[in-house]
Structure 1
Amino acid sequence: MDNTYFTIGMAGHIDHGKTTLTKKLTNVDTDRLKEEKERGISIELGYAPLQTEDGTHVSIVDVPGHERFIRQMIAGVAGIDLVVLVVAADEGVMPQTEEHLEILQFLGIEHCIVAISKIDRVDEEMLELVADDIQERLEGTIFDGAPCVLVDSLSGKGIGELKETIFSELKKVKFRDAYGSFRLPIDQVFTVQGQGTVIRGTIYEGIVQQGSQLTLLPKGHKVKARQIQVHHQEQLQARAGQRTAINLGGIDKADVTRGDVLVASDHFMVTDTIDVALQLIDKDFSPLKQRAPVKVHVGTSEVMGKIVFFDRNELAATKDEVLCQIRLEEEIVVRRGDRFILRRPTPVKTLGGGWVIQPKGAKYRFGEETMAMLRAIKEGTPQDLIEDVLDKHIVLDVQQLIQQTSLDGHVLQETLLKGLEQGRLLEVSPGKYSLAKTYAKITDEMSERLASYHEEFPMRTGMSKAELMQSLSGAYPKLFIEYSLNALTGQEKFKKIEQFIALDSFEPHLPKKWKTRMEGIIASLEKDGLQVKKWNEYFEGTPVPKNDIPELTLYLLNTRQAYRLLEDTLIHHNAFEQALAKLQSGTDEAFGLKEAKEALDVSRKYLIPFLELLDGLNLTIRLEEQRHWTAEVKLK
């Protein structure tokens, strides 16, 4: 399980021992705030790394249990893969235990371990009653039959067994795909002296690399990942499933809030209207009127909105899934399939939860026509399902598509063929598919990056292929970038010169600002012929920036307007051609230093480097003390 990353949530009622148990498992105290220490409760999310022997990377999040801190609890569990439900042996199932259970199920978390804590405080009979009560409560839920472990954090009883159970259950968890577009919902933001703005969150999908250019949604701010940490250890990259802190460049703390989402591409939608499939809580549900105010928790965001029904004017208790719409007061970032929790604002109570069937809803008419449309959206056609998963994962093979869509293999193949014929899908390598719209997006991104690069470095041949691919690797898999580059080069939109990529229309040129000055320098170099000064001396007394000297040097060499005579000396192309012609006409097929000096009439200071340059260009071959013209030179 090397290179897999999971996040475990410790959930349960206040004071049932979650923080103490986390510390016993990890040797990390997650109560970091002074008021948490004083009150003995967790207010903010606390995280700790769990060491494993098989290379699996695990973070434990200690979720606040108090009712007042349910918002932080929802933010914490939104990114977890496995929950450890902690129930104290001396109290049993309590109100927050019940509410946490409901929330966990609504968020689609499928794997659970029950840890009955503080077992040294009760006798065997009481322990059996608590265990029976928990199993009865889990009956009929997604956690029915979840393993149960007895622990005591003070004496250490059961801690080893709990660790083994955690590792065993994690083997059943499908770890998050690192090949999706990078997305990190932010649950904490703060400043560090001398570093600036730092955010924390669990990466939902994709990979982020140090130096990556990112976007903060929904505001659209462009930021840079200056430094990445995983459990206080600096890393060059972090991936899906990892609890991560990122030092952001280009933004103040005041411009970042919990609920914002950090992304690496434009694949994500900002919306204030979501179409949803809603499931209500099992008991104590009070009817909800049309357009009633609700509080939506999705990812790490908490937003007020109004619920809109298209088949009723009041929602009564029901076990059926309800298709409806939520119109939000603020924009959020969601994708189809994202889970949410719905709560009543006053009195505060969980109403239910579900999943987003369409991120960008519109205003619809009341009635059966709209309900039929919502049902179709929820079910999705085979083409919808394929396009949905390819939008998320960029490139998938047939087996992965079957796993992700649950489509029959025959239906999948038919739909793929149809998608290829319609130009909606691309086969980027044998048996591997992607979306045509994703190819259009990466085309625009590559073109923009190259255009910006050409503007910043007009004298360079182009951007190195490795640099261009690296700049896109946070949002796209390598295979897809390679395919796109080859396709665009083949269509003559881009051109490849050795290891460099450039827009087809681009030619290296002198920057407009320094064009006249640089042309003067080049003219001086040409005028000096073979007896040139050191290259840096030509810039003395000019305002041309020092940083542009190596740029101009490479420009002249790459465009063959000049040759390098010595490490610090160049010769103009015209001067080189004149000297070459002069040497040819003044020597025979073979010649020595004496003949060359007489032909060119220059000192050895310039003569020797010029002759060695001819050798390097394969125009002459040196045999002992004589040089012979090669077939490359047409002798006069």
Structure 2
Amino acid sequence: MNRPPGALLSNLLIVTSPGETYIPTASLTLGVIGHVNHGKTALVRAMTGIETDRLPEEQARGLSITPGFAWRGYPSGEIDVIDSPGHEDFIRAMVAGMTGVRAVLLVVSATEGFGRQTREHLQIAALLGLRVGLVAVTKADLASPDLQAERRADMQATLAGTFLAGAPVVFCSALTGQGLDQLHAAIDALRSTAPPPTALPGAFLPIDRAFTVPGAGVVVTGVLQGQPLTPDMRMVLEPSGRSVSLRQVQVHGRTVEAAPPGGRVAVGLRGVTLDEVRAGDVLCSPGHFTATSQVDVRLTLDAGAPRPLKHLDQVRFMWGARQDVASVRLMGAGVIKPGADDFAQLRFASPVIAYAGQRGVLRRLSPAATIGGVIVLDPDPPVYRGRPGLRRAVLEAATTGDIQEIAGQLAARDGGTLAMAELTRLGRCDAPAAQLNLALDYQDLGDGRFAARDALAAARTAYLDLLAAAHRATPTRRMAAVGDIRGAFARHTARDIISAVERALAAEGAIRLDAGRVALNGHDPLATLSPGALSQLDDLEVALREGGLTPPDPASLTGGDPGLADLLQLLVEDGRAISLRNVSLRQTLVFHPVSLDEAVATLGSAFPPPLAFTTGEARAALGTSRKFIVPVLEYLDEMGRTTREGDVRRVVEA
């Protein structure tokens, strides 16, 4: 029987014998596919000693309805065997059974040859990315040598052009044992040619069965992908987001300390009831996979599809151990013709869970038929809103798997920056590997953001050029508005890059930043003024000084001359004048700083601390009007020269 003593034929979770230690090898999962009644289940039973038809209805009808599971040890290691239903009514179960499969055993009856479901199963296997396998021609004991030769020629002709072209073809009989040794040898050899398990940043277990076992609680099973599973791990059930922990992990009916990816596992769960988990859910590592309502894919329409696939068509999407109805948003033309492929976004009515690189099968809703396949490129994309340009470029890069290419397209889309989370999701790698790959060409900006070094260099040059141009345009202004400089190239450059460049320039002393203003460190507007302008500047300062606490209005002081207005602003920026605002009158007032210092001295003499004074008393003491006294006192409060307590103030002792 080739299974441990006491293992249940149904592959339920069981308790390992006391003291028994089982260290599983990384399994190869073999999918057994083919037309109904071609002998798949009998062949698996003869190969493994395990009856995969576990349901009473299956045993009564002699017909597989759900995937059956078995396993066998080989010289190269253990191989899991998944017996897929062959009837056309159970395509969903067949696709679910192919989850995690890395090689196929195509079963064809020697007495009947290729059937309709033989071809559809082969088509589905190809759409799911299978590239390795072999062919078992069953019931060979019922076929004469001439018929066997005819079937072999038929196999070669039919499989030409498929991924099984040139694959081993073994004639065998589950009844007599004919050819089983040759079949086992061919299966054992598959391990060296099959691709490795899918590389993912965390564990990903599509659940194909959920049930309860006395003493073990809720148990789920499936083919493990990504990373190993160990008891007591914290995991998440998606797409519900429910947190659970692992009570026990078993492989082939035996408790293990770690289950490697690539084979079937059974897992006992804590923190969940059977009503809260179902086939089609995914048990996965927290923080690595996100439930979403849309995925971006590369969609291939089969050459034999009866008609083109149109934008907004509804399809049935079978992937992992689940199926969903999806709306197709095409990103190129409004239609995909049979035999063609294109990028699309699949939109779902409720959240789903996927990973980049996952494959699935598309079927028409009615009449039901397999029409194509997809490969998921982005399992958590933004909602597609009909602007394909840069999005197509990003997805095209994702199909290559080249981290540098993907990073370049993300940076081109986002003004020179990229998010590490999106890069690792599209590139199917972890953050340390991606960062190592980007080290030469990208700079870490913090918070998971990276910027292209050439984009940073270009932004630095642009920032300095724009600031120099601003100084030339307004030579009398000591500083320019930061918002004007940033906004001048924000359309084409990410804000993260502008901020990083600005911080770097300030840190190295190339620019000065002050309260929303910026200037080149060497900029001196006084050096650009003519002797006449310098004289006008002095005249403005004298006028303010002579005005004391009743200075002339800026408009009357400059006479509407833009040049004089710029000179007055320069006095303010140099600290040779103070600009205050009378909010109630909506007026800007300009004072000489000496006048404000003298005001403090006058108030201190008239109301020596701790004496208090009102606004009216201050106005009388300073000989000014309400227009000026309110902004003056508010300024003195702000500078800490006076303090206000309700309706009175006091001068602060020096």
User: Which range, TM-score by smaller chain?
Assistant: 0.5 to 0.7
Q: What TM-score, normalized to structure 1?
A: 0.61
Matched, 1:313 2:349: no
What is the CA-CA distance between 1:128 and the residue it aligns to? Answer: 2.0
Change in Cα spacing, 1:201 to 1:385, as seen in structure 2 (3 Å) is: farther
Match status 1:94 vs 2:115: yes
Following the alignment from structure 1 to structure 2, what is the Cα–Cα distance between the partners of residues 379 and 235? 37
Residue pairs, 1:10-49, within 5 angstroms = 10-49=32-71
Matches within 5 A, 1:275-424: 275-317=296-338, 319-361=339-381, 362-365=383-386, 371-372=392-393, 374-379=395-400, 382-383=403-404, 387-388=423-424, 392=428, 394=430, 415-419=438-442, 421-422=443-444
Q: Within 1, Cα distance between the matches of 2:259 and 2:103? A: 20
> How many angstroms does 1:396 deviate by?
7.6
Indicate conservation of the 8 Å contact 1:336/1:359, yes or no.
Answer: yes
Residue 188 of structure 1 and its aligned partner are, at CA, apart by: 0.8
Moved more, 165-174 or 31-40: 165-174
Matches within 5 A, 1:41-440: 41-54=63-76, 56-176=77-197, 180-317=201-338, 319-361=339-381, 362-365=383-386, 371-372=392-393, 374-379=395-400, 382-383=403-404, 387-388=423-424, 392=428, 394=430, 415-419=438-442, 421-422=443-444
Label 1:384 to 1:204 Cα distance change in 2 as closer, same or farther (>3 A): farther
Q: 1:391 and 1:224 mapped to 2: Cα distance?
A: 29
SS at structure 2 position matched to 1:199: strand
Contact 1:5–1:175 (CA<8 Å) still a contact in 2?
A: no
2:84 and 2:94 in contact (8 A); partners too: yes
Give the residue type in structure 2 aligned to 1:20: A
Cα deviation, residue 239, structure 1: 1.6
Tell me the SS of whatever aligns to 2:306. coil
Contact kept? 2:302, 2:340, Cα under 8 Å: no
- Aligned letter for 2:379? P
The verdict on how the C-alpha distance between 1:7 and 1:436 changes in structure 2, with shifts beyond 3 A counting, is farther
Q: What SS does the corresponding residue of 1:80 show, helix, strand or coil?
A: coil
**Gap runs ≥5 in structure 1:** 402-411, 426-434, 438-636
Give the equivalent residue in structure 2 for 1:7: 29
**What is the percent sequence identity of the aligned residues?**
32
Equivalent-residue separation in structure 2 for 1:377 and 1:393 (angstroms)? 12
The alignment partner of 2:150 has SS state of: helix
SS in 1 for 2:440: helix
Q: CA deviation at 1:182?
A: 0.9
Alignment of 1:494-505 (within 5 A): none
Deviations 1:520-557 (A, max 9, x none): xxxxxxxxxxxxxxxxxxxxxxxxxxxxxxxxxxxxxx
Alpha-carbon contact 1:182-1:265 (below 8 Å) kept: no
Distance of 2:128 and 2:136 partners within structure 1: 20
Cα deviation for residue 179 of structure 1 reads: 7.6
- The SS at the match of 1:35 is helix
Q: How many Å separate the matches in 2 of 1:358 and 1:390?
A: 6
Cα deviation digits, residues 1-45 of structure 1 (max 9, x gap): 983321111111111111111111111111101000011111112
**Unaligned runs of at least 5 residues, structure 2:** 1-22, 408-422, 451-654
Residue 583 (structure 2) aligns with: none
In the TM superposition, residue 360 of structure 1 has moved relative to its aligned partner by 2.2
2: CA distance between counterparts of 1:365 and 1:90? 53
Report the Cα distance in structure 1 between the residues aligned to 2:313 and 2:208, rounded to whole angstroms: 27
TM-score by length of 2: 0.59
Contact conserved, 2:138 with 2:174, CA < 8 A, in 1? yes
Letter in structure 2 aligned against 1:41: L
Between the aligned partners of 1:413 and 1:200, the Cα distance in structure 2 is 36
Structure 1 residues 322 and 370, CA, compared in 2 at 3 Å: closer, same or farther? same
**Secondary structure of the corresponding residue to residue 291 of structure 2:** strand
Query: Matches of residues 505-544 of structure 1 in structure 2 within 5 Å?
Result: none
Letter matched to residue 358 of structure 1:
D
Give the residue type in structure 2 aligned to 1:342.
L
Contact 2:24 2:259 in 1 (8 A): no
Number of corresponding residues: 412
Q: Paired residue for 1:404?
A: none
Secondary structure (helix, strand or coil) at the match of 1:103 reads helix
The list of structure 1 runs, each at least 4 consecutive aligned residues, that deviate by more than 6 angstroms after superposition, is none
Structure 1 residues 325, 205: closer, same or farther in 2, change over 3 A? same
CA distance in 2, matches of 1:348, 1:187: 22
How far off is 1:254 after superposition? 1.2
> What is the CA–CA distance in structure 1 between the aligned matches of 2:427 and 2:377, rounded to whole Å?
15
Residues 127-179 of structure 1, C-alpha deviations (whole Å, 9 max, x = no match): 22222222222212222211111111100011000111111121122332688
Letter in 1 for 2:230: Q
Indicate if the aligned counterparts of 1:293 and 1:345 stay in contact, CA closer than 8 A: yes
Distance in 1 between residues matched to 2:80 and 2:58, nearest whole Å:
21
* CA-CA distance at 1:58 after TM superposition: 1.3
Q: Deviations over 1:380-420 (max 9, x none)?
A: 663365853897554887xxx9xxxxxxxxxx98744224x
Q: Which amino acid aligns with 1:72?
A: A
Please tell me whether the aligned partners of residues 402 and 427 of structure 2 are also in contact (alpha carbons under 8 angstroms): no
The answer to whether the 8 Å contact 2:301/2:337 transfers is no
